[in-house]
Amino acid sequence: MERWKGRVALVTGASVGIGAAVARALVQQGMRVVGCARNVDKIEKLAAECQSAGYSGTLIPYKCDLSNEEEILSMFSAIKTLHKGVDVCINNAGLAHNEPLLSGRTEGWRNMIDVNVLALSICTREAYKSMKERNVDDGHIININSMGGHRVVPSADEHFYCATKYAVTALTEGIRQELREANTHIRATCISPGIVETEFAFRHHNSDPEKAASVYESMKCLKAEDIASAVTFVLSAPPHVQVFLSVWDCYSTDL
């Protein structure tokens, strides 16, 4: 990770869960991390904690609604003005709504596409443009995907969410191919965790907290810090090594 000290990383959805853990880990490694979310209160608190801990990097909170393209473009413009540009883009933000394919609301489907697919694509495009403008040829784009992007969970509440994560799998492969065609050494990686114990299930099942809690009680879950470790592992790989797909699963206590 030594070569990343002082470099700029963007982490989307950095207020809680995996995003917060990744932001903390990168700041600890000496990076300047722009952490964005719709509400930055928790990111500001995390930034203060990182500073108090004496980490060599810096966490910069940035308020951004990723379902709004204009806000994303404004964020990249601000990063260019204040920090020159993005060297590492961690597309972590994602959400799920209980909207089955046969009875779901279009509003919920659209929100999942806007955040899970379009925002990821826009951030990737803008991060790549930022790297090319500055002749950065060792940048990295990391998409935090899901095991739901490789297998369809047998639950109607998850089907549309899985579709958006299958899109992330395809998009990451497309990005890898386009980077190769561009003859660049910028790398792309897809990290697909199994169930991670965060606030995700409680937001997904916000009307049924008992159901949310049971998701995490039914098995030994991954922790957000496990995924942060995966990110630092990927970033620390030698320049001639590309980790394209990293799958991290968890196990049922019944096994």
> Which CATH number fits the domain that encloses residue 153?
3.40.50.720
Task: Say if 11 falls within a structural domain.
Answer: yes
- Give φ, ψ of 123 to 5 degrees: -65, -40
pLDDT tens-digit readout, 52-96: 999 999 999 999 999 999 999 999 999 999 999 999 999 999 999
- pLDDT at position 253: 42
* Lowest-pLDDT choice from 44-53, 54-63, 213-222: 213-222
Decide if 166 is catalytic.
no
241 has a pLDDT exceeding 90: no
Between helix 159-181 and helix 120-133 the angle, nearest 10°, is 20
Catalytic pick among 161, 166, 216, 251: 161
Strands 251-252 and 187-193: unpaired
Helix H or strand E segment including 224 = helix 224-235
Give the pTM. 0.91
108 has a pLDDT exceeding 50: yes
Task: Say if 255 falls within a structural domain.
Answer: no
Q: How many domains does the chain have?
A: 1
Task: Say if 138 falls within a structural domain.
Answer: yes
**What are the structure tokens assigned to 134, written together?**
């500055």
Task: Say if 254 falls within a structural domain.
Answer: no
Domain containing 118: what range? Answer: 2-248
Q: Is 37 helix (H, G, I), strand (E, B) or coil?
A: strand
Cα dihedral 129/40/5/49 (nearest 10)? 180
Task: Say if 35 falls within a structural domain.
Answer: yes
